[in-house]
Amino acid sequence: VTPSTPDQTRSRVSRRARALRSSQIRDLLDLTRRPGIISLAGGLPDPAGFPSDRLAAAAADVLLTDPSRALQYGPTEGDPALRALVAEMHTVRTGRPTRPDQVLVTTGSQQGLDLLARVLADPGDPVVVEDPGYLGALQAFQAAGLHLVAVPVAETGTGTRDRTGMDLDALDHLLGDADLEPAFVYTVPSFQNPTGTSLAASERDRLARLADHHDVLVIEDTPYADLDFTGSPPPPVAAHTDRVVTLGTVSKTLAPGLRVGWIVGPTWLIAAATRAKQAVDLHTSALGQALAVDLLADTVWFTAHLGQVTARYADRAATLHASLHQHLGEAVECAPARGGMFLWARLPGVDTTALLPRAVDHGTAFVPGPAFAVDANLADRLRLSFATTDGAGLVEAVARLAAALDGVRSEPPAA
Amino acid sequence: VTPSTPDQTRSRVSRRARALRSSQIRDLLDLTRRPGIISLAGGLPDPAGFPSDRLAAAAADVLLTDPSRALQYGPTEGDPALRALVAEMHTVRTGRPTRPDQVLVTTGSQQGLDLLARVLADPGDPVVVEDPGYLGALQAFQAAGLHLVAVPVAETGTGTRDRTGMDLDALDHLLGDADLEPAFVYTVPSFQNPTGTSLAASERDRLARLADHHDVLVIEDTPYADLDFTGSPPPPVAAHTDRVVTLGTVSKTLAPGLRVGWIVGPTWLIAAATRAKQAVDLHTSALGQALAVDLLADTVWFTAHLGQVTARYADRAATLHASLHQHLGEAVECAPARGGMFLWARLPGVDTTALLPRAVDHGTAFVPGPAFAVDANLADRLRLSFATTDGAGLVEAVARLAAALDGVRSEPPAA
């Protein structure tokens, strides 16, 4: 084995670690951190929405009045007050009574994905994922050695029904294959990353009925569910069946730096995931949990805060959408966003992976569609975040993107 | 499959998750949380040593002046200031120039163990561990599917040399077996958990030479290294060779609830562990990292703080040791502690696992030796923590233990 660095020790990375590639998004983010770039590539919340004053007050309160709660070793399952609050929120949203022992606090919802992958499936086991899908989930499932089986995501409504999100006809067909028996079906039903699409209420009910009929567990990941611009979010899939594990997080509503998320699910699964978490990090930051529950429990404040964040994102989404159509005209296909943090666009005839370095040269960035693909051909798709950049920045980014695109178009086609 | 709970969903826990048993220590801690128990079972730092005022000031400072540093998504590798500081501390302690890209910040050192197990070894690969050893490490390695090969720990100095800690003759013999080729050797060389023993400076040098000779990587876990009562800690094993990965943490010096630790090692390993961590939790709490570096960087304050914590622990260790000999006389064998958080004792002829429920009935608790065993017979050993309980409490706990022991002794032996 040849050492890859000047270290005297030879590299002895395991086979499973060698199979892990670095996240393309992470590598791209490095590229787009050049000074002067207006990057729409990341999935970073707007820092102006971070409730830093409120968090500073909460930190002072817990550290000065109950320091052990924030600083001592705590239960692997999580802070009892946070577990109780999450159970209560889940009860309200699903209409199904949920107990605190159905909740495991995780180090962000990313850890929930890692734990569920290891606890629900063995290496080689098939799991159903959306295509395109959330890259962090695909990474966690691949790191656990799982076999990804792709179901297409309908990008925009077609025909008379507004069907978007996971293609349930395709899912039904897959689950009808008795030889498949997937360990779970993973979905982001609200404002999916990367497509921004959501499953309608009737489709959520249908997904639940498919899960019941085929006796398969659904992992419902809900990071963007609260960022709803319409004001009338449909109930979660978990409202329709018990065969659901729900992942939640404060990363998009309060602050990702706290690394606080949770799993809500059947008690046998919470018990198994808790045993796994013991060996993984003992427990999630006690200080982070204490701050999260302090802010989430203040429902009047939290509702107002969420309203502000959502209104700002809705405004930016509209600006980005209008600007794309204004600058690119018929060269772009893109549906407006109804929530979340992303627009998903198509540039017919353009290879967006080849476009990216040119866009960076012109001072902007996005994530090319193939980064999110399992099997799908997404060569002409791209994901644009409207969350991090203000309106003027978004307009300028689109102007730069249009200039980069002009450069590509004016070149002779390759032989 | 029969459901283990009233949930409607059938349990579909993976084979690897079914192989994970709950930590015996965690289960025991639950038992010993009964009101009125003076528990010496846990490994909890003294809450009086938590620098809560200092942390509250640091939290206000970062949240009000640089909120994104504490609240936004951050690099997987860790806060650049913390990485630089850890590299600097490692350079001073080892005398070997260490760069920030040799540091990965982890969610406690427990996460370091999980990441290293997955990145350095594949399921079935042999790894060398101390027997008895740190339970959290044994759990992480077992969860990763590794094959544990035990090396005995010499509990007290024997003969003319004061040799304690990992038995290096036995290690040398093991590593001489060309068929073994372990992925790594795991050791806690300073105030080991559970035995409290340390490797002397000359033995650390010998361990390093064995690692070089057999070309094997040593994982040196140092949670207790700073809790040194003697005032003259030997250099880490990493001072003697590059074939070392060092794990560090603020859990025993500042506060475990922050969940901030780190790995220092060769860059190929840090790069591989960083890729693994991306899929595991994206990054460690940004707020926790900002607080940790603020306090660690204030070396005058940190040195004074550490002096106070260590002096308190030294005092308590002496009280517990004296009290054991006073109450139990020749019924106990126990060397004094020179650092760390634990006394390791032997009660010749007593089954400490059977003694525990009786001790709980008498209002005290400890961890029986077999909880830490790989292959060793430790039926008459027990681990007692002096960190969490004050002097009067320790004396009372030993009186209760003596009463429980009298009860066992007065019973007729089982047929």
What confidence tens digit (pLDDT) does each residue in A291-346 have? 999 999 999 999 999 999 999 999 999 999 999 999 999 999 999 999 999 999 99
Residues A76, B139: C-beta atoms closer than 8 Å: no
CB A72 within 8 A of CB B256: yes
Of A252, A237, A260, give the one whose Cα is nearest residue A341: A252
Cis peptide before B132 (omega within 30 of 0): yes
Residues A9, B217: C-beta atoms closer than 8 Å: yes
The structure tokens listed for B204 are 């650390």
Contacts of A388 in chain B (CB under 8 A): none
Q: Which residues contact B402 (CB under 8 A, 6 or more apart)?
A: B327, B328
Contacts of B97 in chain A (CB under 8 A): none
CB B364 within 8 A of CB B38: yes
**Mutation target among A5, A9, A53 for the B interface, most CBs of B within 10 A:** A9
The structure's pTM equals 0.94
Given this model, what pLDDT does residue A27 score?
67
Residues B107, A259: C-beta atoms closer than 8 Å: yes
Residue A6: band (very low, low, confident or very high) from pLDDT cuts 50, 70, 90: very low
CB B10 within 8 A of CB B16: no
Residues A287, B286: C-beta atoms closer than 8 Å: no
**Mutation target among B62, B287, B289 for the A interface, most CBs of A within 10 A:** B287
For residue A117, the tally of other CB atoms under 10 A from its CB is 27
Given this model, what pLDDT does residue B34 score?
80
Distance CA B43, CA A325 (A): 61
Given this model, what pLDDT does residue B407 score?
82
Counting DSSP H helices and E strands in chain B, the numbers are 14, 14
The structure tokens listed for B228 are 């040194």
Residues B268, A3: C-beta atoms closer than 8 Å: yes
Helices A52-65 and A286-297: crossing angle in degrees, nearest 10, is: 120
Cis peptide before A194 (omega within 30 of 0): yes
Residues B71, A139: C-beta atoms closer than 8 Å: no
Residues B282, A45: C-beta atoms closer than 8 Å: no
Please give the C-alpha separations between residue A412 and each of A135, A331, A380, A415, in angstroms, as whole numbers: 34, 18, 18, 9
Distance CA B101, CA A10 (A): 17
Residue A96: band (very low, low, confident or very high) from pLDDT cuts 50, 70, 90: very high
Please give the C-alpha separations between residue B200 and each of B190, B191, B246, B251, in angstroms, as whole numbers: 9, 11, 17, 24
Please give the C-alpha separations between residue B304 and each of A31, A174, B313, in angstroms, as whole numbers: 43, 64, 14
**Mutation target among B13, B82, B104, B141 for the A interface, most CBs of A within 10 A:** B13
**Mutation target among A53, A268, A270 for the B interface, most CBs of B within 10 A:** A268
H-helix segments, B282-338: 286-297, 299-328
Quick one: what percent of chain A has pLDDT higher than 90? 86
Residues B76, A9: C-beta atoms closer than 8 Å: no
Distance CA B400, CA B392 (A): 12
Distance CA B233, CA B339 (A): 10
Contacts of A50 in chain B (CB under 8 A): 67-68, 71-72
Given this model, what pLDDT does residue A3 score?
37
Residues A285, B15: C-beta atoms closer than 8 Å: no
Compute the CA torsion angle A224, A228, A229, A235 (nearest 10 deg).
Answer: 150
Residue A146: band (very low, low, confident or very high) from pLDDT cuts 50, 70, 90: very high
The structure tokens listed for A77 are 């399952």
Which candidate from B13, B50, B279 shows the least CB-CB separation from A272? B13
Given this model, what pLDDT does residue B19 score?
83
Average pLDDT of chain A to the nearest whole number: 92
Contacts of B243 in chain A (CB under 8 A): 8-9
Residue A200: band (very low, low, confident or very high) from pLDDT cuts 50, 70, 90: very high
Given this model, what pLDDT does residue A23 score?
60
Contacts of B286 in chain A (CB under 8 A): 256-259
Strands (DSSP E) along B1-74, which ranges? 38-39
Which candidate from B47, B281, B291 shows the least CB-CB separation from A111? B281
Reading chain B (415 residues) residue by residue, the pLDDT tens digits are 333 344 556 678 999 898 886 666 566 667 767 889 999 998 899 999 999 999 999 999 999 999 999 999 999 999 999 999 999 999 999 999 999 999 999 999 999 999 999 999 999 999 999 999 999 999 999 999 999 999 999 886 544 446 789 999 999 999 999 899 999 999 999 999 999 999 999 999 999 999 999 999 999 999 999 999 998 899 999 999 999 999 999 999 999 999 999 999 999 999 999 999 999 999 999 999 999 999 999 999 999 999 999 999 999 999 999 999 999 999 999 999 999 999 999 999 999 999 999 999 999 999 999 999 999 999 999 999 999 999 999 999 999 999 999 987 766 555 4
Helices B267-281 and A135-143: crossing angle in degrees, nearest 10, is: 120
Distance CA A23, CA A31 (A): 13
Of A167, A113, A110, A157, give the one whose Cα is nearest residue A375: A167
Given this model, what pLDDT does residue A163 score?
74
Sheet holding A333-334, edge to edge: A333-334, A342-346, A381-385, A367-368
